[in-house]
Amino acid sequence: MSDLVLVPLDDMEREFRRILVKYGFNERKAEECARVFAENSLDGVVTHGVNRFPRFVRYVKEEIVRVDAEPVLKQRAGSIEQWDGCLGPGPLNALRCTERAMELAREHGIGCVALSNTNHWMRGGYYGWKAVTAGFAFIGWTNTISNMPAWGATDTRIGNNPLVLGFPGG
């Protein structure tokens, strides 16, 4: 007999949303953030879905994640923009910047958006998939604090900086 527990996507998303509202998210933000965690779990990346959710809630309680923060445009040069995430929820900041990059690409043929001062975006592939299903190519990456040792070392000196590449099929 397996210890595997299957939870319907809608139930998982509803519970995540309920908890996020309890900790200060408005309904819209709670719904969007819950969707990121639930869909990451559905896609089999539970490390950045259901397994990561308790830590995210702890960061909300500790005010490491500012639930009311909204990203702010810092500068713009045509199809290139730089945004300040204001320490808001990383998944929502990343989603906003992905959407903004697609808007810029519609207007200019390419959209490049940089985001700083934010929290963990969870699974970068989530945003690549959003762009690809909308018909856009996507290149996304992040930087992080030093959280792992270089090969052969014992102290943390490098970050695990994921790179996401997404291209629509033909």
The pTM for the full model equals 0.90
120 is catalytic: no
Examine residue 66 and state whether it is found in any structural domain, yes or no.
no
Q: Are residues 89 and 130 in the same domain?
A: yes
Average pLDDT over residues 111-139: 96
Q: Are residues 105 and 37 in the same domain?
A: no
Q: Are residues 77 and 158 in the same domain?
A: yes
Q: What is the pLDDT of residue 98?
A: 98
pLDDT score of 44 more than 80: yes
Residue of 15, 90, 108 lying closest to 48 (CA atoms): 90
pLDDT score of 116 more than 90: yes
- Which of 42, 61, 80 is the last residue before a domain boundary? 61
pLDDT score of 6 more than 90: no
The one catalytic residue among 17, 29, 48, 123: 48
pLDDT score of 1 more than 70: no
Q: Are residues 84 and 125 in the same domain?
A: yes
Q: Which tokens in the block code for residue 79?
A: 């199809």
